[in-house]
Structure 1
Amino acid sequence: MIVLSVLQAIGLFLATNIDDIIVLSLFFARGAGQRGTTVRILIGQYLGFAGILGAAVLVSIGAGTFLPPEVIPYFGLIPLGLGLWAAWQAWRRRHDDDDEGKIEGKKVAVWAVAGVTFANGGDNIGVYVPVFLSVGPAAVVAYCVVFLVLVAVLVVVAKFIATRRPIAEILERWEHILFPVVLIGLGIFILISGGAFGL
């Protein structure tokens, strides 16, 4: 039974978090060359995902008032705001030149990774709650443990992708555009798909 729960948890995690690889890869590209980037991204991803799991568990045990479903779409404001800020910073630095032609990485903030992870996980909460309601407490614990192990795997995969030479070159060259575009797009998608502001 536990083995089945573990396999189901792996499948559920992959189905609900595969899109995070793109966002995490952009965070790695953004922090390229900065010491501690991997640790900050890992901590941020764990904090954001712990928030997702905590909300899903609380809602599934009857604490629906903790996180009413109509609030979830408004999490889209987090990546939207971060994306607009990144776009503003990129626009302000559009004429900056580096003598070597190499863009120096920026320090990636733990709170930014955590915020984007949590905001992007609104749909995860919606998927996890019915699953948690349909299984016993031991299976919920198994799901949570598997999810938390796979968070580290997700970060490793994103770093691997972001550091492959052809991909790294593209990300280095276009990160200042891709990063805000992806975050703004993600924020708008979360807001619209959830019906925030009557959209």
Structure 2
Amino acid sequence: MFAVTNIDDLVLLAVFFGQTGRNRAAAARVVAGQFLGFAAILAVSVLGALGAGLLPESAIRYLGLLPLALGLKAAWALWRGGDDEPAPAAGLWQVAAVTFANGGDNIGVYVPVFAVAGVGGMTGYIVVFLIGTAVWCALGWFLAGHPVVAKVLSRWGHLVLPVVLVGIGLVILFS
């Protein structure tokens, strides 16, 4: 789930790291910004999941409509030829802001999953997602140094996102 909802972040991280000129201090700001932005995504997702606990249990499955709608929206944008994002500057706050702003699909998927996972499951997801964020930063650094790989990922990675979001939405709806 982490990998699929963050494919676009991997491409953005490669762009951010590419802007650092391989400067380690600048790269550390990118990493810090990624963690800050992703922590905000997790905080909103946890709050949303806890709020979902106020809903009757029979209504929670309808939260699957969120990732379903996001997946259909992403597929529509793909079909229409949209989804072009400018490359922002690679400072801590810029990376954090872009990561958070780019996290709508993450929140839409994480809230219903967290809502059905309970506190223990949610904690497990958060730990795995934070480890995933570290891995993503390392991969972004790697990709920034290998433009051929970054080009392939940026060309095809966006095709996977709508399919998986629709799949996650359907699983939540029908489980």
TM range (shorter): 0.5 to 0.7
Question: 1:165 and 1:129 mapped to 2: Cα distance?
Answer: 34
User: Quick one: which of 21, 38, 42 aligns to 1:49?
Assistant: 38
Q: How does 1:155-174 map to 2 (within 5 A)?
A: 155-164=137-146
Normalized per residue, which structure has more helix?
A: 2
Structure 1 length as normaliser, TM-score? 0.55
Deviation at 1:83, TM superposition (A): 4.0
Rate the CA distance shift 1:58–1:148 in 2: closer, same or farther, 3 A: same
Percent identity between matched residues is 45
Q: How does 1:71-82 map to 2 (within 5 A)?
A: none
Question: 1:44 and 1:138 mapped to 2: Cα distance?
Answer: 27
Q: Specify the SS of the correspondent of 1:32.
A: coil
Q: How does 1:31-180 map to 2 (within 5 A)?
A: 31-62=20-51, 83=86, 108-164=90-146
Question: 1:148 and 1:164 mapped to 2: Cα distance?
Answer: 24
Which blocks of at least 5 consecutive residues in structure 2 are unaligned?
A: 54-65, 71-84, 152-175
Question: 1:110 and 1:83 mapped to 2: Cα distance?
Answer: 17
Q: Which runs of 4+ in 1 moved over 6 A?
A: none
Structure 2 length as normaliser, TM-score? 0.62
Q: Specify the SS of the correspondent of 2:44.
A: helix
Q: Specify the SS of the correspondent of 2:23.
A: coil
> In terms of Rg, which structure is larger?
1
Q: What root-mean-square deviation, in Å, do the aligned CA atoms of Structure 1 and Structure 2 show?
A: 3.0
Which blocks of at least 5 consecutive residues in structure 1 are unaligned?
A: 1-11, 74-81, 87-106, 171-199
